[in-house]
Structure 1
Amino acid sequence: MDLSRELSDEEICDLIGSVVSREVRENPMTIRQRANLERAIFNSLRKLDVLQELVDDKEITEIMVNGPDKIFYEKNGKIYEFKGHFSSEEKLEDVIQQIVGRHNRVVNQASPIVDTRLSDGSRVNIVLNPISIGGSAISIRKFPDDPMSMEKLIEIDSVSDEAAQFLQILTRAKYSIFISGGTGSGKTTFLNALSQYIPDDERIITIEDSAELQLLGAKNIVKLETRNANTEGVMPITIRDLIKTALRMRPDRIIVGECRGAEALDMLSAMNTGHDGALSTGHANSPLDAITRISVMAKMSGEDLPLEAIFQQIASGIDIIVQLGRLRDKSRRVLEIAEIDGFVDGQICINTLYKFEETGCESDGRIVGKLAKKGNLHHTDKLIAAGIDI
């Protein structure tokens, strides 16, 4: 290879073809074997080595690398072990550096954990050896080329048509909605689907650790992404910094991809300073747990705020909590939609509007149930302001 210049993919393919042609003369192989060999060599040089086959498979939703010899993937809700493996820990580390380098991220022994993304938007988390005992670990969360719409979620029974129409009305009326759920419950997918209800004349600012949101139909949109510090003196840009900046960018909507730290306080502050219609996600097991989690994260800011003041911020800033979950049949469902109904006697009141009720199982093990209506919306002031009759 001529290392004095950057070779194009076509030149690399031609070079691989000529080398393999010479190899075939001494070691005959079928056309399929030759094609597989050429593809494997090209992926090793220009792509993600053995992972490229999994990345290219549209049906795979998660890729998990546990060191160079153990690779697993999720397909149709089930986990399988991949037959391929990296040739060495050094090759795995080369692929890791290739992934992080594309988006100006840094991962090394001084900073062994990093979040980034692939060129197709897939979310990537990396933990280096020896923090990850047994070899460096990569977790890749893939997203479909066509973002999941609310109509598709209704079609696969993730949410009922009635609940979807209700959420459409609330989104249009600028109710602030927090999407809660466990890992892999579909929070980002649901946030993407919910964004299709935002009027297209509104200016949207998205804030994420690594940009992965695929908002449907958004025209006037600015995507902000955090930045890590590096050894060259580049200062970090945190979600807290981006939220403060977003407030100066004339936003109609602020969307924080995921709250998992001190930025929760800044998000609450934004919601309580006239920026209605905010959307965000976070990890929690129920709407009540979500409130507790948000309050704990807000305390991480270091601000000397009493818990009661934080609860009041939550009660006045967040209007609706949508709880998602994965059931035992691996399906992702909306389990509850709840309204934050005010702050009384030191406690936040919750008004459950919809709740999933299981009614049985089909022969193939799929859970049958419905998202039953449990109550009516109490705070209708934003509906009235938006001129919407629910």
Structure 2
Amino acid sequence: MGKIDILLSDPRLEEIIVNNHKEPVWVYHRRFGWLKTNIIIPTEARIRHFAMMIGRDVGKEITNLNPLMDAHLASGDRVNATLYPISNRGNTITIRKFAEDPWTITKFIEENTIGLEAAALIWLAIQNEMSILISGGTGSGKTSMLNVISNFFPPNQRIVSIEDTRELTLPQNLHWVPMETRLANPEGKGGVTMLDLLVNSLRMRPDRIIVGEIRRKQEAEVLLEAMHTGHSVYATIHANNADETVMRLTNPPIDISKPMISAISLILVQNRNRRTGKRRTLQIAEVTSAGDPVVLMQYNAQTDRMDTITEPKVTFEKISLYTGMTRQDIQFDIRQKTRILQWLIGKKVKDVDEIGMRMSRYYLGNLQLD
């Protein structure tokens, strides 16, 4: 694909966008957001040729009769293409790159996406097998956060992940089974839905279940039922704050009864600043037995850090009930986790597999801090 291959090889780019032959190619950079390149594809015919070439590689075709294409490449990249006149300014190609170098907790903290104390609280919840829901708008970093919190999973548990298109990359030392949905063929056969995989995953003896995104009532019902039957579940949903997350779950089209939501322990809300393009964790909230969210930490745009609003009373009570730990024990544990995270950052441990190995040593009781 000519100069587009240069962009495809850049691990810092998340999206590559071709709008038409008159505009330069756009990219979405991990750190700087949307950027305009100096690359121009000279003709609409060339853009169409690129789209057809991608389609042939994965057994799909894009024609005037079928002017839309959604393809999933062997590399993990996802490609969408449209032809003129459906896209009336010209042919388009949108490439969402699979992150070969995924976000990790140390990278998130270094980029100030999340603070040390907030990360330690999430680690505490995950170690104690609490379920977490991640919400936010489009492009806010929900899936990145889902990937990041998987850094805290212990190595001796079975994890099943379910996505429409695989975007997660967990540490290699984990007992992980990734699964993807599949569209039906032109005859309407062979489709595998998110619900199909979710129901099937419960028969696979999972300890933890990761779901890419909740969209429908049945998915939410099965997910919450899994939480109530002792599985730790981690999922994302489109909502802009903790209150809106509960409203989305309890109103059509999802429409779950509010008491069911108490199975969710924490809600993490991600946000992308529309002015600067920076991603931050906006809120961390716990859910009461009545299904109401209580904000524990809130992002302060003036100071660019999270402020503590209140102590995680419900979370502490759950941990104390099942482990016998006192409030002082839990607070000491959070301080220890904060210290370990600081040590990992100081040691420049950023690779997902290396973090996975350090976490394994922590859970096995032989992580030595220099």
Question: Could you tell me which residue of structure 1 aligns to residue 18 of structure 2?
Answer: 65
Residue 65 of structure 1 and its aligned partner are, at CA, apart by: 1.8
Question: Could you tell me which residue of structure 1 aligns to residue 305 of structure 2?
Answer: 370
Q: CA, structure 1 residues 94+234, in 2 after alignment: closer, same or farther (shift >3 Å)? A: farther
Question: Could you tell me which residue of structure 1 aligns to residue 259 of structure 2?
Answer: 312
TM-score by length of 1: 0.73
Q: CA, structure 1 residues 102+197, in 2 after alignment: closer, same or farther (shift >3 Å)? A: farther
Residue 139 of structure 1 and its aligned partner are, at CA, apart by: 2.6
Tell me the C-alpha RMSD between the 2 structures.
2.8
Deviations 1:9-56 (A, max 9, x none): xxxxxxxxxxxxxxxxxxxxxxxxxxxxxxxxxxxxxxx344212111
Please tell me whether residue 385 in structure 1 is matched to residue 322 in structure 2: yes
Contact 2:135 2:237 in 1 (8 A): yes
Deviations 1:173-209 (A, max 9, x none): 1111111112222111111110011111111111111
Percent pairwise identity = 32
Question: Could you tell me which residue of structure 2 aligns to residue 184 of structure 1?
Answer: 139
Contact 2:76 2:98 in 1 (8 A): yes
Distance 1:263 1:95 in 2: 39
Q: CA, structure 1 residues 92+162, in 2 after alignment: closer, same or farther (shift >3 Å)? A: same
Spell out the pairing of 1:216-231 with structure 2 (5 A cutoff). 216-231=171-186
SS in structure 1 opposite 2:257?
helix
Q: 1:201 aligns with which of 146, 151, 156?
A: 156
Contact 2:135 2:270 in 1 (8 A): yes
Amino acid at match of 1:321: I
Q: CA, structure 1 residues 352+78, in 2 after alignment: closer, same or farther (shift >3 Å)? A: closer
Deviations 1:88-110 (A, max 9, x none): 44443343344355556676677
Q: 1:334 aligns with which of 281, 284, 296?
A: 281
Q: CA, structure 1 residues 386+104, in 2 after alignment: closer, same or farther (shift >3 Å)? A: farther
Distance 1:382 1:102 in 2: 51
Residue 73 of structure 1 and its aligned partner are, at CA, apart by: 1.3
Please tell me whether residue 77 in structure 1 is matched to residue 11 in structure 2: no
Q: 2:129 aligns with which of 174, 180, 186?
A: 174
Whose relative contact order is higher, 1 or 2, with alpha carbons under 8 Å and at least 6 apart? 2
Residue 136 of structure 1 and its aligned partner are, at CA, apart by: 3.6
Please tell me whether residue 147 in structure 1 is matched to residue 102 in structure 2: yes
Please tell me whether residue 249 in structure 1 is matched to residue 196 in structure 2: no
Please tell me whether residue 212 in structure 1 is matched to residue 147 in structure 2: no
Q: CA, structure 1 residues 354+151, in 2 after alignment: closer, same or farther (shift >3 Å)? A: same
Please tell me whether residue 355 in structure 1 is matched to residue 292 in structure 2: no
Contact 2:162 2:179 in 1 (8 A): yes
Question: Could you tell me which residue of structure 2 aligns to residue 19 of structure 1?
Answer: none
Q: CA, structure 1 residues 261+159, in 2 after alignment: closer, same or farther (shift >3 Å)? A: same
Distance 2:239 2:61 in 1: 30
Deviations 1:270-316 (A, max 9, x none): 434414321111221111112223345654xxxxxxx4x53232x23
Please tell me whether residue 137 in structure 1 is matched to residue 72 in structure 2: no
Is there any run of 5+ residues in structure 2 with no aligned partner, and where?
Answer: 331-370
Q: CA, structure 1 residues 82+329, in 2 after alignment: closer, same or farther (shift >3 Å)? A: closer
SS in structure 2 opposite 1:139?
strand
SS in structure 1 opposite 2:289?
strand
Q: CA, structure 1 residues 342+224, in 2 after alignment: closer, same or farther (shift >3 Å)? A: same
Question: Could you tell me which residue of structure 2 aligns to residue 51 of structure 1?
Answer: 4
Distance 1:111 1:151 in 2: 44
Amino acid at match of 2:158: R
How many residue pairs were aligned? Answer: 322
Is there any run of 5+ residues in structure 1 with no aligned partner, and where?
Answer: 1-47, 300-306, 360-367
TM-score by length of 2: 0.77
Spell out the pairing of 1:148-163 with structure 2 (5 A cutoff). 148-163=103-118
Question: Could you tell me which residue of structure 1 aligns to residue 334 of structure 2?
Answer: none
Larger Rg: 1
Contact 1:106 1:228 in 2 (8 A): no
SS in structure 1 opposite 2:5?
helix
Once the two structures are overlaid, the 10-residue window that deviates more, 322-331 or 230-239, is 230-239
